[in-house]
Chains A and B, each alone.
Chain A
């Protein structure tokens, strides 16, 4: 193990770094408690961070994986851009930005940055990023739709002063309000973000007061060295040398677009190269570089060490290369709103596929690979939800049934809440039997969620995936069942939808979402009979699957108990 040098300051650096991480957490608590939009308060779609005076991220509290690392990339861009624009950050200033090509995710994620001064000296920046429910553009919620360029997706904010020497610029807020569908939310959520920055600022100043500015600045640089050393040692302990390539696809119109990731391990560093990925498209599934970094880091961290600490130090160990003008590093004016939600999932799949060749005993089979986004709206109302699915079978055990996977982890909205707020009636919400890919370790089951609408002229927009290409298995495991998005009309007609679609419903029509199951891991014929029988008893596997894939023959002696709840 690589050892850090002798400590001149005892354990003070450890104490200060912990305190900084806790301060970032506290910023998050304030943001969550005071925010208005459901994306922030329920779905925790936000992050808070503390940075060095050079703009290196030292401590972060992130609640959804898409901000992992994208925050570090975005903040550096913002610093560079601010300098280019001659935008100096004085004491009491706060800068606002959401331009995806600078801030690193999509327009909904508005980022605020505040410099922290102590006795006139710049000692840190505090920053946060939060998903605002609507930033204008073609469709309510500002994600997806039939767009071909960024400006169609909503208002683009370059680095701009939101607060100038302690004074809130109401003109900026009014400008934003005039460009979005939910003006009250935007101002409320920005106030919540400002309150969160204040908490971070006070905490960092207190650290300077208690330990002195030079110890604080020393700690920042040590913190980056520490994450570098941690990451290097993690990679070195794996003891692998070599490269492998993984490819996977997204569904677009009648065709497919490719993501290719080549992962190379060299002694104590990793390189991930997306050379060979399809060019950017005139559709919102382009993922800006920050999103690509986030998805790649998620995949590496989850397999290498889920507890791996993260700050700017990772960049010294993990090199990510994404050719300009591709799906994973588009150039202006490509639209990018759905890159966060669907493309990020596929990037994880491609990196996992490469890692599975290098670390076969550590990588799970493909999860359902989609967030199954459903936006529903009628006259004067709208809601948006994402629907869980099956996770991939794992080298130790089955995939998990009915759960959000990889880049998303947002909660569902209770059916009782939806029915009392909107004209909908749910028909089903249950696990999708037989959808898990067969394997020694079975893929997790997808979910069926179905509801009827109770008024005419309701529009439903689906942004999904894996309708054509099924989630893959590993080591002899078979793929999971593909997703199905259906409309069942009041007269019983069934219409099958593609993975991205907008439909109009009338009262009595029903939408049925069947999410994909995870891929299986290992040869299904090696699955112990007792587990196959348990799955059969519980209805998770069909009798047909059991005999076809698992070689199951029901014996007289072993008759299944038919007394099931289903």
Chain B
């Protein structure tokens, strides 16, 4: 039965369509006003039979674009009800500014203007006990006054995580006065302490709720009008699948799921090849992103800032709108194909953050760009074929050389070739930083991991970066340019549940923990059931988040009883930080259950038929390498089959990407069309 994975990105919409006949792919421009039309267009391109389509899985970076008005849907009016005297918590935030030295900084514009924030008299203490009664008449007055068709009420009261009673009373009063309004309660969408983050999560959900529902409805309508009656699924930011209903309940947990799909794809695809520990490396037009997967599981972060800025690969606190859901943790650097290289006032070479984007694009595209980009540097070094994207883009080496010549003059390089080499070397250093962030800084040893390289530019730099950080193998999947969309077809349902414990290890009993875990598991199974996942397809995993008492960051360890907990924790702690403290008390911060609802994956369809024919027709080309021109081989990926091998210096040209093999590296083609490179 056919399935389709659709990754709706800011610039491109990618589709991977799989049926008995194999895989078909398509890449079209995303229409910012009507993104659902791009989905249909891409499905048409692959001749998808929508009547037969059993499942359509979609991931999207749209959440952010919806929020910032890049997608033209009408924003709802969001009214915030919080405690009297605390109306500005949402604006003051954590009181820090997003840039240390820029006196012209601004905080992100509050999502609820001050005129729509109402302070309700009434208060609970941290135990959830009432300190002051709730003034329900005030709530009724506000609800009556602000009532309208496109209104969402966000409710976030202090200590509602300990007792939701006041929030529930507020919701009931609102519904009485304004039955058509939507209401989002903080105790429902993020019941954890930390008033700013919880309120922000609540408000982001409130803003996205009508926006996302408009998008999903429009998508569903356009698909159904063409006969689609299969299952529509959406990917969450944690890489798991969920139903559209769940997406509408907590839309903020679905933001930026496109990049997450790439990590999931890396995890599942490499597992197929028998590899469990990988770094995903995704390089596109403006950024490069790295993630890590250990024992088949991606790394998560619990706080994310929507629309936030990134500095040195990390999110800058206070630069966006925080939401607290599990996000696949990606390190991001501004180094994509279109990223511009320049010389600063002190004469040093710099990369980004400016990008030539898709328009005008790199100089070598011949569309009016003149600034030297990373793509231009690759073109100058002879690492690009004459055309890209199946002939859509022709590469002009002359224009690339011109752009690099001007850089060489400014920076004092003797030739454009030397300048190009320096640009690529520096870009690789910057990208290696992103890879180190998700490996070395998490205590993972890169030499025990493989790198899965994808995105339009990923395979071009992957082998050099792998050498830089000590990764020994690079895996390049077939269709590297639309790999994230393929990942959608390889993912599972997922539900992660966390219960705070915050007790010292010797204060906790196994009975107590078992009770907590059992509660979490029951909740997880219920959630799976509501998504239509049968019980026998659900896999549950228990883990503990532990730390030395007094530390902030905890380490997650698999739970196999309390007896092993301390030694497991200390082993992991030492491998990550180089020491441990046997004399210090250890604390269990939280208990965690991860439920996976295993889907049927079209793995057999991915398998390549037949075997290779010795690499197909090759061509000899010249590339620039450390100061001289050397001979290299150009392979066509489509001509390669299982058993074939390729040897550097060489280029392997895919329809939507190019793999560069430096001298000394050697790749072999496997059963699933992958090229495994020994770096």
Q: A18 to B131, Cβ gap below 8 A?
A: no
B102 CB to closest chain A CB, in angstroms? 4
The reply on A396 being an interface residue by CB < 8 A is yes
Q: B158 to A416, Cβ gap below 8 A?
A: yes
Contact with B along A159-202 (1 / 0, CB 8 A): 00000000000000000000000001100100100110011000
Which chain A residues border B656 with CB–CB below 8 Å? none
Q: B131 to A430, Cβ gap below 8 A?
A: no
The answer for the CA separation of A364 and B441 in the assembled complex, in Å, is 39
Among B125, B346, B425, B440, the most chain A Cβ lie within 10 Å of the Cβ of B346
Which chain A residues border B22 with CB–CB below 8 Å? none
Nearest to A233 among chain B residues (CB) is B345
The answer for the CA separation of A227 and B345 in the assembled complex, in Å, is 9
Q: A427 to B101, Cβ gap below 8 A?
A: no
Contact of A416 among B103, B115, B194 (CB under 8 A): B194
- Contact status of A26 and B101, CB under 8 A, knowing A195-B578, A404-B96: no
The reply on A218 being an interface residue by CB < 8 A is no
B428 CB to closest chain A CB, in angstroms? 8
- Contact status of A1 and B102, CB under 8 A, knowing A22-B436, A188-B584, A414-B194: no
B399 CB to closest chain A CB, in angstroms? 22
The reply on B606 being an interface residue by CB < 8 A is no
Q: Kindly specify which of A34-42, A375-383, A489-497 makes contact with the partner chain.
A: A34-42
- Contact status of A11 and B194, CB under 8 A, knowing A195-B577, A226-B346, A565-B115: no
**Which A369-416 residues have a C-beta within 8 angstroms of B?**
387-388, 391, 394, 396-397, 400-405, 409-412, 414-416
B88 CB to closest chain A CB, in angstroms? 4
Q: B103 to A394, Cβ gap below 8 A?
A: yes
- Contact status of A298 and B194, CB under 8 A, knowing A191-B581, A429-B88: no
Q: Kindly specify which of A149-157, A258-266, A302-310, A326-334 makes contact with the partner chain.
A: A302-310
Q: A18 to B113, Cβ gap below 8 A?
A: no
- Contact status of A11 and B105, CB under 8 A, knowing A409-B97, A565-B118: no
Which chain A residues border B347 with CB–CB below 8 Å? 2-4, 226, 229-230
The answer for the CA separation of A538 and B117 in the assembled complex, in Å, is 10
Q: A566 to B87, Cβ gap below 8 A?
A: yes
Q: B92 to A538, Cβ gap below 8 A?
A: no
Nearest to A7 among chain B residues (CB) is B412
Contact with A along B312-347 (1 / 0, CB 8 A): 100001000000000000000000000000001111
Which chain B residues border A198 with CB–CB below 8 Å? 578
Contact with A along B542-554 (1 / 0, CB 8 A): 0000001011110
Which chain B residues border A405 with CB–CB below 8 Å? 97
Q: A227 to B349, Cβ gap below 8 A?
A: no
The reply on B26 being an interface residue by CB < 8 A is no
- Contact status of A431 and B426, CB under 8 A, knowing A36-B550, A400-B105, A537-B115: no
The reply on A242 being an interface residue by CB < 8 A is no
Among A14, A65, A226, A409, the most chain B Cβ lie within 10 Å of the Cβ of A14
Q: Kindly specify which of A90-98, A417-425, A522-530 makes contact with the partner chain.
A: A417-425
The answer for the CA separation of A15 and B464 in the assembled complex, in Å, is 14
Which chain B residues border A35 with CB–CB below 8 Å? 551
The answer for the CA separation of A298 and B102 in the assembled complex, in Å, is 10
The reply on A5 being an interface residue by CB < 8 A is yes
A20 CB to closest chain B CB, in angstroms? 11
The answer for the CA separation of A185 and B549 in the assembled complex, in Å, is 10
Nearest to B555 among chain A residues (CB) is A33
The reply on A29 being an interface residue by CB < 8 A is yes
The answer for the CA separation of A184 and B421 in the assembled complex, in Å, is 51
The reply on B95 being an interface residue by CB < 8 A is yes
Which chain B residues border A566 with CB–CB below 8 Å? 87, 114, 119
B283 CB to closest chain A CB, in angstroms? 18
The reply on B422 being an interface residue by CB < 8 A is yes
Q: B552 to A42, Cβ gap below 8 A?
A: yes
The answer for the CA separation of A294 and B578 in the assembled complex, in Å, is 32
Q: A420 to B126, Cβ gap below 8 A?
A: yes
The answer for the CA separation of A36 and B197 in the assembled complex, in Å, is 23
The reply on B501 being an interface residue by CB < 8 A is no
- Contact status of A402 and B412, CB under 8 A, knowing A25-B312, A425-B125: no
- Contact status of A394 and B104, CB under 8 A, knowing A230-B346, A416-B193, A416-B194: yes
The answer for the CA separation of A563 and B117 in the assembled complex, in Å, is 11
The reply on B517 being an interface residue by CB < 8 A is no
Nearest to A230 among chain B residues (CB) is B346
Size of interface on A: residues with Cβ below 8 Å to B: 97
Q: B581 to A416, Cβ gap below 8 A?
A: no
Q: B92 to A364, Cβ gap below 8 A?
A: no
The reply on A507 being an interface residue by CB < 8 A is no
Which chain B residues border A29 with CB–CB below 8 Å? 441
Which chain B residues border A429 with CB–CB below 8 Å? 85-86, 88-89, 92
Contact of A306 among B101, B411, B441, B548 (CB under 8 A): B101
Q: B346 to A565, Cβ gap below 8 A?
A: no
The answer for the CA separation of A15 and B431 in the assembled complex, in Å, is 12
The reply on B272 being an interface residue by CB < 8 A is no
Q: B94 to A412, Cβ gap below 8 A?
A: yes
The answer for the CA separation of A420 and B163 in the assembled complex, in Å, is 14
Q: B577 to A34, Cβ gap below 8 A?
A: yes
Q: B91 to A425, Cβ gap below 8 A?
A: no
The answer for the CA separation of A11 and B420 in the assembled complex, in Å, is 9
B121 CB to closest chain A CB, in angstroms? 12
The answer for the CA separation of A535 and B655 in the assembled complex, in Å, is 56
The reply on B433 being an interface residue by CB < 8 A is yes
The reply on B405 being an interface residue by CB < 8 A is no
Contact of A230 among B345, B411, B441 (CB under 8 A): B345
B504 CB to closest chain A CB, in angstroms? 13
Contact of A403 among B96, B101, B412, B579 (CB under 8 A): B96
The reply on B473 being an interface residue by CB < 8 A is no
The answer for the CA separation of A399 and B246 in the assembled complex, in Å, is 41
The answer for the CA separation of A349 and B551 in the assembled complex, in Å, is 36
Q: B85 to A22, Cβ gap below 8 A?
A: no
- Contact status of A402 and B88, CB under 8 A, knowing A419-B125, A565-B115: yes
Q: A410 to B96, Cβ gap below 8 A?
A: yes
Q: A188 to B426, Cβ gap below 8 A?
A: no
Q: A195 to B579, Cβ gap below 8 A?
A: yes
The answer for the CA separation of A5 and B101 in the assembled complex, in Å, is 30
Q: B348 to A416, Cβ gap below 8 A?
A: no
Q: B114 to A538, Cβ gap below 8 A?
A: yes
The reply on A539 being an interface residue by CB < 8 A is yes
Contact of A14 among B103, B349, B410 (CB under 8 A): B349
The reply on A6 being an interface residue by CB < 8 A is yes
The reply on A234 being an interface residue by CB < 8 A is yes
The reply on A559 being an interface residue by CB < 8 A is no
Nearest to B193 among chain A residues (CB) is A416
**Which A185-237 residues have a C-beta within 8 angstroms of B?**
185, 188, 191, 194-195, 198-199, 226-231, 233-234, 237
Which chain B residues border A11 with CB–CB below 8 Å? 349, 413, 418-419, 421-423, 425-426
Q: A30 to B577, Cβ gap below 8 A?
A: yes
The answer for the CA separation of A403 and B319 in the assembled complex, in Å, is 13
Nearest to B627 among chain A residues (CB) is A10
Q: A414 to B196, Cβ gap below 8 A?
A: yes
Q: A414 to B193, Cβ gap below 8 A?
A: yes
Contact with B along A49-68 (1 / 0, CB 8 A): 00000000000000111000
Which A residues lie at the B interface, using CB under 8 A?
1-7, 10-12, 14-15, 17-19, 22, 25-26, 29-30, 33-38, 41-42, 63-65, 184-185, 188, 191, 194-195, 198-199, 226-231, 233-234, 237, 298, 301-303, 305-307, 309, 363-364, 387-388, 391, 394, 396-397, 400-405, 409-412, 414-417, 419-420, 425-431, 447, 537-540, 561, 563-566
The 7 closest A-B pairs by CB, nearest first: A11-B422, A230-B346, A4-B347, A388-B95, A420-B126, A306-B101, A428-B85
Which B residues lie at the A interface, using CB under 8 A?
85-89, 91-92, 94-97, 99-107, 113-119, 125-126, 131, 145, 158-159, 161, 193-197, 312, 317, 344-349, 410-414, 418-419, 421-423, 425-426, 429-430, 433, 436, 440-441, 548, 550-553, 576-579, 581, 584
Selected A-B contacts with CB under 8 Å, 10 pairs: A34-B579, A35-B551, A184-B584, A230-B347, A397-B106, A403-B95, A411-B317, A414-B196, A420-B126, A429-B86
